[in-house]
Amino acid sequence: MLKIENLHAGSEGHEILKGLSLTVPLGQVHALMGPNGAGKSTLSYVLAGHPSYQVTQGKIEWQGKDLLALAPEARAAAGVFLAFQYPVEIAGVTVMNFLNTALNAQRRARGEKPLDVISMAKFLRQRAQSMQLDEAILKRPLNVGFSGGEKKRNEVLQMAVLEPSLCVLDETDSGLDIDALRIVADGVNAMRSKDRAMLIITHYQRLLDYIRPDHVHVLQKGRIIRTGDASLVAELEEKGYGDMHAP
C-alpha cells in the first residue's frame, strides 16, 4: 500500500504540496487529476526522490517502508516506477543496453541473480512486441530522435520490463495520438494486478476512457480537494476544475 500523509514539499524554498494525503492499496488504480500548477508532477518527482525537491513535512510509506529515507535507486529496487512526462535522451546508450543495465541493477539490489545476455535479449524482444513496438527500437539510442508517441510507449515498455509494484504515470497521455493512446492504455491495463498499485496522473479524462480507475482524486493548490469513483471524471469534464470545491 502507498500511504501519503500530510505531505508538504517543494523546490527551491517554494512550497508546492501543502498537506497532501493519499492512499493507494495494492490491486487498485487511482487517477490523480488537476489543473496546471496544482502540484501533480511535483508529487511524482517527490515519490521517485528527485534531488531538486525537498519534503518539509509529512511522510510517505510504501509497503510499510519509509520511502523518503531511500535513495532514488533504492526506491526503484523497492518497486517504485515513474513513467516520466519528459523522458530524457541518452546518446549512445541503446534501449536494450539501458534496460539490461537497469533490470540487472534492480535484481542485484533485491538479491536476485542477474539475467544472462541471451535470456535478457529474448525477454526484452517479447516485451517490445507486446507494446507493438518494432524490435528495432531496442537498438536505438535511448529516446534520441524518438517521436513523442515513441517516447511514451518506451516508458510503458520499461514499466513492462521492470515489473514494478508501484507505477506512477505522469501525464503519459500528453502528446499521444489516439492510436498511441490506446496502445499505451492496453500496456497499462495488461499490468493491472492484485500485487500492484497504480497512480495515473493526468490533466484530461481522455486516458481514463481506456483505463478505468478505481478511484479518482482531484488535486488543487497542493492538496486533494475531492475523491470519488470513476464517475467523478465525467463531472470534471463537464464542469471543469474551476467549479470544483471540497464537498
Partner 1 sequence: MNVDLPLPEPYKYGFTTSIETLRAEKGLGEGTVRFIASQRKEPDWILDMRLKAFELWQSMTPPQWSKLDFAPIDFQASSYYAAPKTQKTPQSLDEVDPELLRTYEKLGIPLREQERLSGITSEIAVDAVFDSVSVATTYKKALAEKGILFCPLSEAIEKYPDLVRRYMGSVVPAEDNFYAALNMAVFTDGSFVYIPKGVRCPMELSTYFRINAESTGQFERTLIVADDDSSVSYLEGCTAPKRDEHQLHAAVVELVAMDRAHIKYATVQNWYPGDKEGRGGIYNFVTKRGLCAGQGAHISWTQVETGSAITWKYPSCVLKGDDSQGDFYSVAIVGNHQQADTGTKMIHLGKNTRSTIMAKSVSAGRAQATYRGLVKMTKTAKGARNKTQCDSLLIGDQCGAHTVPYIEQQQQNGHIEHEATTSKVSEEQLFYCRQRGLSEEEAMTLIVGGFCRDVMRKLPLEFAVEAQKLIGISLEGSVG
Comparing C-alpha atoms, which of 123, 126, 183 is closest to residue 150? Answer: 183
Instruction: Tell me which DSSP letter residue 94 carries.
Output: B
- Decide if residue 146 touches partner 1 (CB under 8 A): no
- In angstroms, what CA-CA distances link 96 with 93, 118, 122, 125, 128? 8, 12, 11, 9, 10
Query: Phi then psi for 32, rounded to 5 degrees?
Result: -115, 115
Minimum CB distance to partner 1 smaller for 19 or for 72: 72
Please identify which residue in 46, 96, 103, 185 interacts with partner 1, judged by CB under 8 A: 103
- In angstroms, what CA-CA distances link 66 with 5, 63, 70? 12, 9, 7
Pick the stretch among 73-81, 116-124, 217-225, 232-240 that binds partner 1 (CB under 8 A). Answer: 73-81
Minimum CB distance to partner 1 smaller for 9 or for 48: 48
Please identify which residue in 14, 36, 64, 91 interacts with partner 1, judged by CB under 8 A: 91
Please identify which residue in 14, 36, 64, 92 interacts with partner 1, judged by CB under 8 A: 92
46 forms beta bridges with none
Binding residues for partner 1, rule CB under 8 A, total 32
- Decide if residue 69 touches partner 1 (CB under 8 A): no
Please identify which residue in 106, 154, 202, 220 interacts with partner 1, judged by CB under 8 A: 106
Pick the stretch among 54-62, 74-82, 208-216, 221-229 that binds partner 1 (CB under 8 A). Answer: 74-82
d(CA 222, CA 85): 19
Please identify which residue in 60, 76, 167, 188 interacts with partner 1, judged by CB under 8 A: 76
Instruction: Tell me which DSSP letter residue 113 carries.
Output: P
| Cβ at position 83, least distance to partner 1 in Å | 10
Q: How many CB atoms lie within 10 A of CB 199?
A: 24
- Decide if residue 84 touches partner 1 (CB under 8 A): yes
Query: Between residue 23 and residue 52, which ones bind partner 1 under the rule CB under 8 A?
Result: 48-52
Classified as helix, coil or strand, 116 is coil
Comparing C-alpha atoms, which of 187, 196, 177 is closest to residue 129? Answer: 187
Measured distance between the N- and C-terminal CA atoms of the chain, rounded to whole angstroms: 26
Task: Give residues in contact with partner 1 (CB under 8 A).
Answer: 48-52, 71-73, 75-77, 81-82, 84, 87-88, 90-93, 97-98, 101-103, 105-106, 109, 141-142, 158, 162
